[in-house]
Each structure stands twice: as structure tokens, then as C-alpha cells.
Amino acid sequence: MQEKINYYWRLFATANAYVFFGIGCVLAPLFVLPLYLFIRNQHTRQKTTRLLVHWTFRGYIHLLKLMRITDWEVQGIESLKRQGKLVISNHPTLLDVVFLIAFMPNADCIIKSGILKNPVMSVIVSLAGYIKNDGGPLLIEDAKKSLNCGNSLIIFAEGTRTKQDEEISFLRGAANIIIRTKTAPTPVIINCFPKTLSKGIKWYDIPNKKFNLTIRVLGEMEINRFLMLPASIGARELTNHMEVFFRKEVALNEH
């Protein structure tokens, strides 16, 4: 009986959490649009917007904890607060970017261009200066500019969430950015147990108990040997290296 009560409470709480997130997305532009009027400098405006998103997401994850939907543990959090970090992470759940931005005060990220079709989200994305994943030289140049400005850039090297019970598989885009900007990446390993909110799982398919996220921030990855190769070959070799590295690290912390 107690298990059923807990289940229905978490289902109710999860539904409300999605509603709160939606309401926040609708109301957020009302707070950020005045930035156009009072902050003329584009860099300052973007940094202020990202800070607002950071504190909003930080409040949201604490709300999830208060509602007993999830709990989390972060190792190496201080490293995420430093400027100019290129963060490479696996992507097991829908909430990964929310958690990472919640711990990174000046986080930039690469977003799908389709998000700009959403009139609500496009305001936040434009003001924050998030990078569109249009691909090619422009994406790499935008990533380089962001890092040079002292932003920390989050990249999910898989390009999308990991499918349940499938191995991590990286696209070459992350490695191309690393090689062509000559920036050593900081690996972030995310484990979720029980597994939930992965690709193909609906929000209402909640686990039989609250899920726990473990976020481990590791030391910068050594990339000199990949930089010595022609860029295309270096990106391919680095992609393979990161796949093996992440698969091993994720497996170390699986329950």
C-alpha cells in the first residue's frame, strides 16, 4: 500500500514539475526582455541572461529534490565554476543540461536550431547567445569565440540522449571543436539510477522509486597526441578515444 502511495505521489509531483517548467519558460521572457532596454552591451546582456537561467535551473532542481522526485550527488563541482571550461558530457536523461547549467554560472551550450521556432524559447536562446548547431566552420568559430570570452561551453558529444540499454556512441562534432579550438575538454560523467527520462522513455514512465543522478567532474583530458595529427584524423581518433573513455567511466558507477 505504501509503495502505491509513493508511486502516485511521484507521478503527481512529476506532472506538476513539468507544469512548473512550462510556466517558467512562458514567464522567463517577461524578466529578460527588459535587458534589451537597460543593458546595451551584448556581451553583458548575454552573461546576465545566462546567470538568470543558471539560478532558475538551480531553483528548479532543488524543487525536484523537495518534491522527492530525485536526488543528486556532484563530485568536483568547483571545477565547473571556473571560466573557459569546455565540458564534454554523456547524456542519459532529459534533465542533464538543467543540472549542468544549475552548477555553472556562465554556461554556454549548443542548441538545436529547431528550438528557435518556439517563440517563447527563442527569446531566451537569443538573449543568452547560445550557439545553434548549424554545423560546419561557423559552429566551430562560434564555439571558439565563446571560449575566448570566458564562457564555459557544454557539449553532449552523443548529439542526443542515450537510448536505454544502448552503448554510448559519440558524433565527431565534439572532437572537431576540441581539435580546431585546441581546448582540452573536461569530461563530466552522468549516471542515473533507476534509469529514466532517456531517449524513448515518456515522462510518465516513472521508476519505482525516486531516481538519483551522480555527476562526476573529472580532470582535463590530455589531447596533445591528437593535435599532432591532421585535423580530420585527429578528430576521428579523439572521438574513438572519448567513446572508450566514457563507456568505461559510466560503467564504473552503474548500480
Tell me the pLDDT tens digit for each residue of 206-253: 888 889 999 999 999 999 999 999 999 999 999 999 999 999 999 988
Whether 29 contacts 123, CB under 8 Å: yes
Q: Which residue has the higher pLDDT, 51 or 11?
A: 51
pTM as predicted:
0.91
At 198, phi and psi to the nearest 5? -80, 175
Identify the weakest region by mean pLDDT among 45-49, 149-153, 184-188.
Answer: 45-49
Q: What percentage of the chain carries pLDDT values higher than 70?
A: 96
**How many domains are there within the chain?**
1
Tell me the pLDDT tens digit for each residue of 29-68: 777 677 667 777 888 888 888 998 999 999 999 999 998 8
Stated as kind and residue range, the H or E segment containing 211 is strand 211-217
pLDDT number for residue 135: 67
CA dist 166 and 250 (Å) reads 12
Q: Determine the structural domain holding residue 239 and report its residue range.
A: 2-252
CATH number at residue 239: 3.40.1130
pLDDT number for residue 210: 86
Say if residue 1's pLDDT is above 70: no
Output the CA–CA distances (angstroms, integers) from residue 177 to 26, 88, 135, 138, 154, in the order listed: 33, 11, 11, 11, 12
Sheet order of strands, 70-75 included: 70-75, 211-217, 186-193, 86-89, 152-156, 107-111, 131-132
Say if residue 3's pLDDT is above 80: no
Tell me the pLDDT tens digit for each residue of 96-112: 999 999 999 899 998 88
Locus of grid cell 572521438:
239
CA dist 106 and 44 (Å) reads 11
